[in-house]
Structure 1
Amino acid sequence: MSTVKITVLLAILGLMSGCITTMEKDAPKMKPEKALETHIRLGLGYIGENNLDSARFHLNKAAEIKPSDPGVLNGKGLLYQLEGEPGLAEKAFKEALRRDRDFTQARLNYATFLYGKERYQEAYENYEIASEDLNYDRRATALYGLGMAAKKLGRNERALAAFNHSVLLQRNFSASHLELADFYLQQKDYAKAKQHLTAYEVYSRPSARSLWLGIQIERIFGNKDKEASQALSLKSLYPYSQEYLEYKKSQGSR
C-alpha cells in the first residue's frame, strides 16, 4: 500500500457522496459549533474523493469559524500534503498536536507524512503513540504503519509483532497479511506464509507482489499447477513489474 493510499484511508470518515450533499445543504443554517464540525467533515470527505478544490473551500470555511481548532489544522495538513506543500503540511500537523496531543487521527496522519519523507524513526515514534490509543477505531492501521516503520529501521521482530497485532484487531487488514506472508517466507516458515497469503487473497485483489510470493510458496510445496496459474496471472496482469522480472530470472536458474 502506497503512502498516498494510506493517507487517504486515514482521511476518510466513512462519508458517502449522498451524505456530503446533505451536509452541503444544511451547513449554512447551522450554529457555529456544528458548522465547524460539518465543514471539517466535508473537507475530509472531499480529500477522500481527491476533490481538493472543494476540500479547500470547506476547510477555509471551518478556519473562518475557528482557525486554531485541531480538526481544522489536521485537515489543512492533509490538504497541503496532497498539494505538494510539505513544509506547510508539517507545520499544520505539529500545531494540531500541540493543541491536542491526544488527537490520534492527526498523530497517525503526521506519522504517515513522516514515513513518506523517509523519516522513519520519527514516523515510528508517532505510529507507536497512535497505536497505544485503545479506543481509536483505526488502531489496526496505526499498527500496520508501526510495522512498516519498524521494518525500515531493521527492527524485524517489532514489525512482526505489529503486523500480527494489526490482523488480530482487524482480520481483513490485507496489507498486514501480505507483510506477514513475506516475513514468514523469508524465515522459511512456509505454512504460516501460505496461511497469511491465503488471507490476503480473500480480502484483496492480486498484486504483483502477492502473485510472486504465491509462486515461490507453491513452488516450495510442489504444487506445479497452482504455481503455473499464479505465474500466468503475474504475466497477464503485471508484465512490466519487477516481480515478473524476478520470476523470469528464477526460471532461468532452474
Structure 2
Amino acid sequence: MSVLSACGPKNIQDDNSTPNQKLAKTYAEMGKEHMQYGRYNIALKKLEKALRLDKNNAYAHLYIAILYYKHLESSDDKARQHFEKAVAINPNDSFILENYGQFLCEHDQWRKANKRFQQALENPNSYQYLEIPYGNAGLCALRHNKYHQAETYFRKALQKNNNFPRALHRMAELTYKQRHYQQARHYLQRYEKIAKHSPKTLWLGVRIERTFKNREAEIDYALSLLRHFPDSEETQLLNQSKKP
C-alpha cells in the first residue's frame, strides 16, 4: 500500500475569509511543507496553530491527521479523529476522502475504505492524474484479497494512463495468480519499457518465465535480481526455489 501523501491541492484562500481564517490557511500550508521535508515537530506546531486560529480548516485537520498517523508514534486515535473532522467539514473533497480511505485500508477496514475511495472517485475533476486514486484504490483491494475489485480499479487506472507503472505491475501479478500467464508476461513486458525493475517485478519475471519453460529469460531475471538486490526477500525466495 502506498504511503499517505501530504501533497495535494492548495488550501485556497477565500475572499470572504476572516483574517484568522486566512492566517490559519497559511499555517496549514507551512505545516504541510515542514512535514514534507521531515521537520515533524515544527510541522505539528504550525498545524496546531492553524487549528487554534480556525478549528474548521479541513486541510489543517487532514495534514495533522497524516502527521499523527505516519510520523508520530502511537497517534492513530488522534489521526482518526482529525480525518473524521476533515471529512465532516468538507465531505465532498476527493483528496480528503482518498487519504482517509488509505488510512482505513491500512487499519483493515476494507468496506469503509472502499466506500471512501468510491466517494472520492465520484468527483474526477478533483484530480489532475486520475490513474493515481484508481491505483491507490486497487492497492487497497489487493491488500484485502479483493482480487476482482482490484482488477477493476487497475484496469480503470490503465484506461486513464496506459503507461502507469503501478497498475501494469499489479495487473501482471493478478493475471499470474489467475494463471493467465501470457497476459502476465504481456503486462510485465509493458512495465519494463517504462519503469525500472524492483525485486518484486524481477521475481515475478522469474516465475512467469518458468511457466513457459523459457530458461534463458528466467536466468536473465534471476541474475538481475541477484546482482541488483542481493539482500532482498525476493532473492531469498529465489535461492529457496533452487533447492532440491
TM-score above 0.5, yes or no: yes
The corresponding residue for 1:187 is: 178
Tell me which residue corresponds to 2:48.
Answer: 60
Give the match for residue 156 of structure 1.
147
Residue pair 1:80, 1:86 contacting (<8 A) in 2 also: yes
Q: CA deviation at 1:77?
A: 0.6
Match of 1:170 in 2: 161
The 2-side partners of 1:201 and 1:131 are apart by 29
Aligned counterpart, 1:101: 91
AA aligned opposite 2:35: I
Measured after TM superposition, the shift of residue 89 of structure 1 is: 0.2
* Cα drift, residue 172 of structure 1: 4.1
Q: Measure the CA separation in 2 of the matches of 1:195 and 1:45.
A: 40
**Alpha-carbon deviations, 1:194-245, whole Å to 9, x = none?**
2322333344332211011111223334443332221112123333433223
Match of 1:124 among 106, 114, 117: 114
Match of 1:19 in 2: none
Between Structure 1 and Structure 2, the one with more helix by share is 1
Q: Alpha-carbon deviations, 1:114-151, whole Å to 9, x = none?
A: 12222222222222222222112154232223223333
Residue ranges of structure 2 left out of the alignment (5+ in a row)? 11-18
CA distance in 2, matches of 1:103, 1:91: 17
Distance between the aligned counterparts of 1:169 and 1:57, measured in 2? 39
Contact 1:128 1:142 in 2 (8 A): no
Question: When the two structures are superposed, what TM-score results if normalisation uses the length of structure 2?
Answer: 0.83
Alpha-carbon separation, structure 2, partners of 1:169 and 1:40: 31
Q: Which moved more, 1:134-143 or 1:70-79?
A: 134-143
Distance 2:241 2:150 in 1: 28
Which residue in 1 is equivalent to 2:79? 89
| Preserved contact between residue 73 and residue 95 of structure 1 (Cα < 8 Å) | yes
* Cα separation, 1, equivalents of 2:194 and 2:35: 25
- With over 3 angstroms needed to count, the CA separation of the structure-2 counterparts of 1:90 and 1:48, relative to structure 1, is same
The runs of 5 or more residues in structure 1 that have no matched partner are: 16-30
Q: Distance in 2 between matches of 1:180 and 1:52?
A: 36
Q: Secondary structure at the match of 1:118?
A: coil
Kindly indicate whether the alpha-carbon contact (under 8 Å) linking 1:214 and 1:230 is maintained by their aligned counterparts in 2. yes
Aligned length: 233
Higher mean Cα deviation, 235-244 or 110-119?
A: 235-244
Which secondary structure does the structure 2 equivalent of 1:177 belong to? helix
CA contact (8 A) 1:147 1:159 kept: yes
Matched to 1:48, the amino acid is Q
**Preserved CA contact (<8 Å) 1:13 1:41:** no
Tell me, what secondary structure is at the counterpart of 1:102?
coil
Do the aligned partners of 1:115 and 1:123 also contact (CA within 8 Å) in 2?
yes
Q: Counterparts of 1:105 and 1:14 in 2: how far apart (Å)?
A: 8
- 2:102 and 2:140 in contact (8 A); partners too: no
Q: Quick one: which amino acid aligns to residue 167 of structure 1?
A: L
